């Protein structure tokens, strides 16, 4: 941002927007809500520290994910993103069951078509049906068996599930509410 | 009453007296100092305290309709903040949003596999019906 046009952060913080302002590339002045939300949840100084610790080419993604988390916390002040994670994990579990049922039905049909051929081993679910929760989440042991700690499973969110804008993944909100951008 | 050995993890970290009504104390016991260290690093003590105390603190137009967080919900607030802080420390770029993104990819992948499986099922059923019915008469 130029010296005459402070970014949204510096406007909110009521300070001069320096040429090398760390917030300016990611919080343009035409979207004041974006920084306001992040500032409310994380605090400007914490966000600044986080960005300073990252290489420049990763900062945009970091800011987008911080905005997402802040929005999630506004929508669901008790569970934040954890509510969305819990919902999605339940959805994965339900879909795995549907897949297992569908694969079992195919096996039945195959047996009907070739009754003389007996299966040599029990039917095995597809890799994706069992492998999902075994994938390394990248959190280095953060989660036991790559799922949320037990107290988060089946917790009803106190508010609506959020949508994601990360990596251009767009989904309709589950309960008809759009995430504030 | 401040006794040096009975401060919660938050008050120890912040080097202050731990009052009897300390909002952090039920959720950040002294036995787990890292828990508070994580949330402090990402959110700061003041923000954590506000989020434990108030639901509507994030209404940007003020606190007129502010509500206190019920006591039984505060542990969920603390737990979710700790989880998200830990995710952010482990993955400074995406935090727990990376996990959400991977879950959504997985959902999409399983849905595709279900669709393929059902299409295959229809083919098998069609083939089975043809075998049973024989060639149709003209």
CB contact under 8 A, B79 and A152: yes
Please write down the HEC assignment for all residues of A148-164.
CCHHHCCCCCCCCCCCC
pLDDT above 90 covers a percentage of chain A that reads 54
Angstrom distances, CA of residue B24 to CA of A82, B1, B19, B88: 20, 15, 10, 21
Question: What's the whole-model pTM score?
Answer: 0.73
Q: Residue B72: its pLDDT value, please? A: 82
Say yes or no to pLDDT of A59 above 90.
yes
CA pair distance B27, A34, nearest whole angstrom:
30
Q: What is the pLDDT of residues B52-83, one digit of tens each?
A: 987 655 444 444 456 777 888 899 999 999 99
| B45 inside 8 A of chain A by CB | no
In whole numbers, what is the pLDDT of chain A averaged over residues?
74
Q: Nearest residue on chain A to B105, judged by CA atoms?
A: A169
Nearest to B90 among A83, A84, A140 (CB): A140
Q: Residue B14: its pLDDT value, please? A: 93
Residues of A in contact with B129 (CB under 8 A): none
CB contact under 8 A, B94 and A85: no
Q: What is the pLDDT of residues A124-165, one digit of tens each?
A: 544 444 433 434 433 333 344 445 555 554 444 444 444 444
């Amino acid at each position: 941002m130029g010296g005459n046009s402070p970014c949204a952060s510096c406007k909110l913080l009521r300070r001069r927007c320096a040429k090398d302002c760390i917030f300016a590339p990611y919080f343009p002045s035409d979207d004041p809500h974006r920084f306001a939300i992040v500032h409310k949840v994380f605090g400007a100084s914490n966000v600044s520290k986080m960005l300073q610790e990252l290489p420049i080419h990763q900062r945009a993604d970091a800011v987008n994910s911080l905005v997402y988390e802040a929005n999630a916390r506004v929508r669901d002040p008790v569970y934040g993103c954890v509510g969305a994670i819990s919902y999605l994990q339940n959805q994965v579990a339900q879909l795995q069951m549907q897949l297992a049922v569908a694969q079992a039905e195919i096996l039945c049909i195959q047996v009907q078509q070739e009754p003389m051929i007996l299966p040599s081993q029990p039917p095995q679910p597809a890799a994706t049906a069992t492998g999902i929760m075994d994938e390394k989440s990248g959190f280095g042991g953060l989660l036991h068996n790559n799922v949320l700690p037990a107290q988060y499973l089946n917790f009803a969110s106190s508010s609506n599930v959020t949508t994601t804008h990360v990596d251009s993944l767009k989904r309709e909100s589950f309960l008809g509410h759009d995430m504030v951008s | 009453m401040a006794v040096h050995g009975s401060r919660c993890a938050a008050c120890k970290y912040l080097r202050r007296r731990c009052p009897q009504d300390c909002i952090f104390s039920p959720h950040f016991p002294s036995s787990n100092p890292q828990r508070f260290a994580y949330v402090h690093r990402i959110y700061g003590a003041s923000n954590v305290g506000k989020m434990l105390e108030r639901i509507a603190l994030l209404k940007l137009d003020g606190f007129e309709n502010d509500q206190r967080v019920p006591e039984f919900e505060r542990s969920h607030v603390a737990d979710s903040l700790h989880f998200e802080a830990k995710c952010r420390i482990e993955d400074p770029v995406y935090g727990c949003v990376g996990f959400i993104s991977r879950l959504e990819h997985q959902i999409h992948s399983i849905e595709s596999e279900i669709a393929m499986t059902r299409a295959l099922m229809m083919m098998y059923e069609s083939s089975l019906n043809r075998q049973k019915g024989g060639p149709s008469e003209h």
